[in-house]
Structure 1
Amino acid sequence: MCVFATGRMYGSLIAQGLLKGLHMYFVAFLLRDLIICGSNIEPSKFATASHPGVSIQPNQALCRKVVEMAVSRSTLVSVKWLKNMIASKTANHRILDASWHLPNTGRNAKAEYAESHIPGAVFFDIEECADKNTSVPHQIPSADSFGSYVGSLGINNETYVTVYDNNPKFGLFSAQRVWWMLRLFGHQPSKISILEGGLPKWLSEGGEVTDKVSDIQPQNYKAVFNPSLVKNYEDIEKNITTAEFMLVDARPDGRFKGIMPEPRDDTKPGCIPNSKNIPFFAVLNEEDRTLKSPEELKALFKEAGIDVEKHFVSSCGTGISACLLALAAHVCGNDSVSVYDGAWTEWYHRAPAQLKHNVPED
């Protein structure tokens, strides 16, 4: 039964001394697993700081923290959970292989999908589902274009989507970009999950793979753009003066400091003025490629001088790993994080020299 798959969260509650009123926690865990197993109960039905809905009365305050933890963690699903979903042939469930690789790796994610993927998965091409009228790679498309693309993958507005990627080192490298795009274009957050550890963890736990491409029945998808989740060049330029939000860069610190090359030959390393740096891989557990716990993530952000419970904007090279910081904030209960889509690549090619820090000289 799904409800018993809550050991890690339960242990966290024990450590925090929150074991009073056990029946209330059982209810919270049950609600969490109903959500994660694709029921019609949505996280928005629960009132927390990040999920406003019906009001929680004072005598229910004890349950607030566990509900918030449960809702945020429901985005991340295990190999066992996905195996069960596949075995049960759950209706209107779509698995997306969202693998993507940096241009300097020489890898072809689409070709790799054709050779080996989780049974039933379809390939989400991050480069294809993008604005073709800009020189910056894989920028977000229009709402109509996004709707047409995901509809062609057999997804409608009620589809439960599980996303993964195949990065062998990190296990979570690009899937979060598709998670973010789905949210950006109005898909219900309760209907989007990410496979923790990605394809590497799937394989390590005995998951099967195939080269068979599933038949797809195109669906109608109505995309509704949410502008609060994305920032553009002008927003970032203005913020240098107004300081309305914190800008957090997810690139490795060597690229941020200008001492390590960018993966694109036409772009030098460096950083945007007043930005802070949390390398994307810092939010992952090295041993199993899963996302760190909310407590560990909050400590990580605090050490970097960032209040993870407040609005901030994440950036990176071209908007992929920035979405991992948005995911980390989501797990901590903050759904207000925006992504600077053009990121450092756009900034480097558009900003005047005085607004590009740490850029090495020729």
Structure 2
Amino acid sequence: MAAQVQTRALVSVQWLADAVKNKLVGPKLRILDTSWYLPSTKRVTRDEFSQKHIPEASFLDIDECSDSTSPYDHMLPTSSHFSKYVGDLGIGNDTHVVVYDTSDFGAYSAPRVWWMFRAFGHGLVSVLDGGMKNWVAEGHPVTSEYSKPERQEFRATLNASWVKRFEDVMENIRTKEVQVVDTRVSGRFNGTEPEPREDILPGHFPGAINIPFTSLRDDSGKLLGPELLTKIFKDAGVDLSGRSGSPAVLVSRRATSSWRPTRLAIPGFVFTTAPGWSGFRGRHQNT
């Protein structure tokens, strides 16, 4: 099964339901609830997982699976940290991983984890299109039962092409070689709405193009098709010809990058990832 979806960024609810029904979840297929919300919501996602989740799923805590030594939120952990963390969840290098979250958007934090796996060299990872919202809407079962999977060996190797550093962003201010897309809501992009962190000033990266992540999904929370996504990006002024380099996508927080499966949904084009606005602005204020 894993080989059939090696380059598929999304899997459907029905695909996953069939896999669960046919008892295919195991060392070759793992399901992760990756739900994360802003602290202001006061939601305790691990507790929510213990009460209700997709059968056979495990919980990945984004706060734990990050660099705890960094002053900036949710920076990538080391390769060894990531390897141990996901290995403890029963994931090996030949495991197909399906990630989802419980957001009303259909996907909020799950694409972040999808990107983390890809950044660490694991291509066998997909986002559940529409998330828990559509899983429940389509009548599939949930459970509170949990059985910890047997640990697997996972070896992570960072693929630097999936990440832009702060220094790369600052250099691009001068060169303008790469287009930058900011997927925050327009109010935060324009500085008319506050940032979640009080110590971060509002605004956007110089020259950035705003494509709110909410515009990339339909009313049910499922990602729009390739043709519509391509039109949205082109209409916003993103050059998909490759002449302007691969667009870097600057987001509000590295935990909530709901654009990420679009890099595989737009045929023949690849995006990379720049630091989130919180990280960029927080560091820029101190330079």
TM-score category (smaller protein):
over 0.9
Q: Secondary structure at the match of 1:140?
A: coil
What residue number does 1:299 align with?
231
Displacement after TM superposition at 1:122 (Å):
0.3
| Kept after mapping to 2: 8 A contact 1:247/1:315 | yes
What residue number does 1:152 align with?
88
| Kept after mapping to 1: 8 A contact 2:106/2:132 | yes
Cα 1:346–1:42 change in 2 (3 A) is closer
| Alignment partner of 1:98 is 2:34 | yes
| Kept after mapping to 2: 8 A contact 1:308/1:332 | no
What residue number does 1:237 align with?
170
Q: Which digits, 9 at most, give the CA deviation of each residue in 1:200-219, with x for residues without a partner?
A: 11001111111112222111
Which residue identity is paired with 1:100?
Answer: W
| Alignment partner of 1:40 is 2:37 | no
| Alignment partner of 1:85 is 2:24 | no
- Higher relative contact order (CA closer than 8 Å, sequence separation 6+): 2
Cα 1:139–1:186 change in 2 (3 A) is same
Which residue identity is paired with 2:61?
Answer: D
Which residue identity is paired with 1:314?
Answer: V
| Kept after mapping to 1: 8 A contact 2:2/2:96 | no
Which residue identity is paired with 1:93?
Answer: L
What residue number does 2:58 align with?
122
Which residue identity is paired with 1:98?
Answer: T
Distance in 1, Cα, partners of 2:48 & 2:200:
27
| Kept after mapping to 1: 8 A contact 2:90/2:152 | yes
Q: How does 1:221-232 map to 2 (within 5 A)?
A: 221-232=154-165
Displacement after TM superposition at 1:108 (Å):
1.6
Displacement after TM superposition at 1:325 (Å):
2.6
Q: Which digits, 9 at most, give the CA deviation of each residue in 1:96-120, with x for residues without a partner?
A: 0011112222212111111110011
Q: Secondary structure at the match of 2:3?
A: coil
Which residue identity is paired with 1:40?
Answer: A
Q: Choose which of 70, 87, 108 in structure 2 pairs with 1:134.
A: 70
What residue number does 1:264 align with?
197
Q: How does 1:246-257 map to 2 (within 5 A)?
A: 246-257=179-190
Give the number of the structure whose alpha-carbon radius of gyration is greater: 1
Q: Which digits, 9 at most, give the CA deviation of each residue in 1:141-187, with x for residues without a partner?
A: 1111111111011000001111110002x011111111111111011
Q: How does 1:1-362 map to 2 (within 5 A)?
A: 38-40=1-3, 74-90=8-24, 91=26, 92-168=28-104, 170-188=105-123, 191-286=124-219, 288-308=220-240, 310=242, 311-322=246-257, 324-334=258-268, 336-341=270-275, 343-352=276-285
Work out the number of aligned pairs and report it.
282
Q: Which digits, 9 at most, give the CA deviation of each residue in 1:57-116, with x for residues without a partner?
A: xxxxxxxxxxxxxx6xx3222221111101111142100001111222221211111111
Provide the TM-score with structure 2 as the length reference.
0.93
Displacement after TM superposition at 1:308 (Å):
3.7
Distance in 2, Cα, partners of 1:263 & 1:108:
17
| Kept after mapping to 2: 8 A contact 1:152/1:218 | yes
| Kept after mapping to 2: 8 A contact 1:240/1:273 | yes
- Matched residues, percent identical? 38
Displacement after TM superposition at 1:352 (Å):
4.9
Which residue identity is paired with 2:69?
Answer: N
More helix by share: 1
RMSD: 1.8
| Kept after mapping to 1: 8 A contact 2:65/2:81 | yes
Distance in 1, Cα, partners of 2:240 & 2:53:
34
Displacement after TM superposition at 1:334 (Å):
4.5
Which residue identity is paired with 2:22?
Answer: S
Cα 1:39–1:183 change in 2 (3 A) is closer
Structure 2 stretches of 5 or more lacking a match?
Answer: none
| Kept after mapping to 2: 8 A contact 1:309/1:333 | no
Q: Secondary structure at the match of 1:261?
A: coil
